[in-house]
Chains A and B, each alone.
Chain A
Amino acid sequence: MPAIHDMGGMPSDQPIDQSSHEWADWEHMTNALVGALRHRGMMNVDELRRGIEAMRPDEYHSATYYERWSASLETLLVEKGILTTEEIDARAAEVGERWA
C-alpha cells in the first residue's frame, strides 16, 4: 500500500475543478508563518511534508491544503519542544471564543 500522499495514478473519475478560492486571512498567515520559520532555519520543507504525510488518512483526505500545513506545523513545533499541545489547545480555545 503506497503512503497516503503517494497518489499518482490512483483511480479517479473526478474532473479537475478549475475554480479557485480567495485565500482566507488565516491561510495567508499560515503560509507566511511557515515561510518565516523556514527562513529562520527552524524547520524545512522536507519536515513539513513528513508531518503532512503522518496525518491520519481520514483527516488528510478531509482537510484543506492549509489545514494540512497547520497539522504538520503543530506536529513539528511540539516535536521540537517549541510549543506544547496543551498551550496550543488553550490558545486555540481563546481564539475560538474571541471570534465566536
Chain B
Amino acid sequence: MTDNHDHESEHPGVQPDSELSRRARRAIAMRELLVQKGVVAAEEVREQIERTRARTPAHGSRVVARAWVDPDFKARLLADARAAVYELGYTLTHDAELAVVENTDEVHHVIVCTLCSCYPTSLLGPPPDWYKSFAYRKRAVVEPRAVMREFGLDLGDHVQVRVIDSAADLRYLVLPRRPVGSDGMSEGELAALVTRDSMIGVTSALEPSQTRVAASGTR
C-alpha cells in the first residue's frame, strides 16, 4: 500500500499518534483494508472530507437573511424548504428532508435529536459537540428553558416553547426572529446576525449592536 499515510499527511498535526484510541486505530484499519480491496477508492473518501468541510452555517445564515428581506421567499421556505433553498443553490444531502420552523414573539422552537444527532447538515455543516452530548439529548426535551438560559436566552412565560425531537429523516432548521434594530440592513449584514445556535433555537439571532462589538473586538 502506498496510501497508508496520505490522509494523515493532508491534515498534519491534529492528534498525536500516541493518542489514537483503540476504536480510532480500528477505523483507520478499516479504511486501509477497504481501499486495498477496492471496496472504496481513497479518492472517494477524500472527496467526502472536502464535501463535509464545504458545508458551514453560513449557508443557513444566507437562507434566513433572504427570508427576512423577502416575504414571498419566506412563505416558500416554510411551505417547501427543499425547493426554496434550491433557489439559492443549496441541494440537500442524502434522502433527508428539510423543514423550516419560524420563531416569533409568541412561539419559540428549539431542536434536539434525543436518539442520536440528526441535524440539518446540508445547511449548517456537522453539528456542534454540545448538540451530540448526552446532557443536551437528555435535558432539552424536559427542561428546554433551563438549557436555553445556559446559552444566555431567558424567555418570558408569555412565549410558548416548542421543542422538536427530530426522530426521523426530516431535519429542522429554525428561522429565528428578525432582531429589533435591523431595519435597513443589507441582506449580507443581516446574515452576519444569524448564528448557528440561533438556527438550532437555543439562542436568538444577534442584535446589530452585538456584531459591531464583536467586529471591533477582533481588531
Contact = CB atoms under 8 A, between A and B. Distances in A.
Q: Do chains A and B touch in the complex (CB under 8 A)?
A: yes
Interface of A: 5-12, 14-33, 35-40, 42, 45, 49, 52, 61, 63-67, 69-71, 73-74, 77, 82-83, 87-88, 91-92, 94-96, 98-100
Q: Mostly helix, strand, loop or mixed at chain B's interface?
A: helix
Interface of B: 4, 7-8, 10-11, 14-15, 17-18, 20-34, 37, 39-40, 44-49, 51-52, 94, 112, 114-117, 126, 128-130, 132-142, 147, 150-151, 165, 169
Given A8-B112, A8-B114, A92-B26, A29 B49 contact: yes
Nearest to A63: B23
A23 B37 CA distance: 27
B135 A15 contact: yes
B126 A31 contact: yes
Contacts of A5: 115-116
Given A7-B138, A8-B112, A19-B129, A66 B46 contact: no
Given A73-B30, A99-B20, A29 B45 contact: yes
23 contacts: A8-B115, A9-B138, A9-B141, A9-B142, A14-B138, A16-B151, A17-B130, A18-B128, A21-B129, A25-B10, A29-B31, A29-B49, A32-B47, A35-B48, A65-B117, A66-B24, A67-B24, A70-B27, A70-B30, A82-B39, A92-B28, A95-B32, A99-B18
Contact of B52 (A14, A32, A45, A82): A32
Contact of B133 (A16, A29, A30, A96): A16
A32 B48 contact: yes
Contact of B11 (A25, A82, A96): A25
Given A7-B137, A15-B150, A40-B40, A24 B14 contact: yes
B130 A23 contact: no
Given A49-B116, A91-B32, A28 B52 contact: yes
Given A8-B165, A12-B135, A74 B94 contact: no
Contacts of B165: 8
A32 B45 contact: yes
A15 to B, nearest CB: 6
B138 A36 contact: no
